[in-house]
Amino acid sequence: MRQPIAIGVDLGGTKIEAVVLREAEKDAPAVDLRRRVPTPRERGYEGILEAVAALVHDVAAEANVDVKTIPLGVGMPGGVTGAGLVKNSNTICLNGRPFRADLERFLDRSIVFDNDANCFALAEARLGAASAHVGGVVFGVILGTGVGGALVLRGQVWPGEHGIAGEWGHHAVFPDRGPVCYCGHRGCLELFASGPAVEADYTRRAGRPLSASEIAARRAEDPHAAAAIEGFLEAFARGLANVIDIVDPSAIVLGGGLSNLNVLYDEGRDRVAALVFNDELRTPILKNELGDSAGVIGAALLAI
């Protein structure tokens, strides 16, 4: 039997997921086992630490590996300050706390830690939709509750000097429009291209709420839906064209709930192509292959 090579943990707002990767053919690791438990937000910071540690011990025991020595990576929304404190996590009780250091203390070992967008991009670049382009630059995109991104260079996450490489959601696409973003600036892409932004735009126009997928489905017969999707596509195209002009990636992979909108891969791509500073757009814009498993697989890949 091929040996386990890493454990990955994805800490989300509603669930904590862990996987064990095992050696497989063609040098590409495969998922050996996967376990999920609810995130015990009601138990606060200490309760979440205990739940993550317990899950790591459980999957290590089931895979018959030493929890102290097997490579271990952890991913979660948000980032880490220079002092090692969590910031911008949607699990509020983690913000301002030294989660990585405390988890290492709970497990009595070191871990590799990164945000969920970096884990997504790494998994899709090495094992998913962009694996054919892993030798170049892969830009991973999250279009969901927020707008995030990450850069993978030759199969490794490129964090940047400040740990914000790929954070395209907070560059201004419409600096003279919309409210001030929580980051303190106006016109951020996230204010126009996230799921909540599309839904809020539709509600403002129509006077009633719909989900983003329902809005997209009603585009042909509902003028309010058409206007909301038009705004979304305009922001998406401007933002991604800017990324391509600056980074010129080998491939782009879309993830998050809005990545399921088929319009992004035909009309959306055409709009990006019209804005790119080149006669043609050769960069493929790809739908993710690993789905909601990308984050936890990427967390394991961080460690190997």
pLDDT at 26: 63
Among the listed residues 134, 117, 116, the one whose alpha carbon sits nearest the alpha carbon of residue 126: 134
Mean pLDDT per block of 10 residues along the chain (304 residues) reads: 83 92 76 92 94 97 94 91 85 92 95 94 96 97 93 96 91 91 92 96 97 96 98 98 98 96 97 97 97 93 92
pLDDT one-digit tens code per residue, 210-256: 999 999 999 999 999 999 999 999 999 999 999 999 999 999 999 99
pLDDT at 127: 93
CA angle centred on 271, ends 267 and 274, rounded to 5°: 140
- Rounded Cα distance, 272 and 235, in Å: 10
pLDDT at 157: 96
DSSP string, 52-118: HHHHHHHHHHHHT--TTTS-EEEEESSEE-TTS-EES-SSGGGTTS-HHHHHHHHHTS--EEEEHHH
- Rounded Cα distance, 253 and 114, in Å: 19
Second-level CATH architecture of 4-119+293-302: 2-Layer Sandwich (3.30)
| Burial class of residue 156, CB neighbours in 10 A (0-12, 13-18, 19+) | middle
Residue 72 β-bridge partners? 7
- Superfamily (CATH H level) for 133-287: ATPase, nucleotide binding domain (3.30.420.40)
pLDDT at 186: 94
Rounded to 5, what percent of the chain is helix, strand, coil?
Answer: 45, 20, 35
Q: Please determine whether the domains at 4-119+293-302 and 133-287 fall in the same fold group of CATH.
A: yes
Domain boundaries, the chain: 4-119+293-302, 133-287
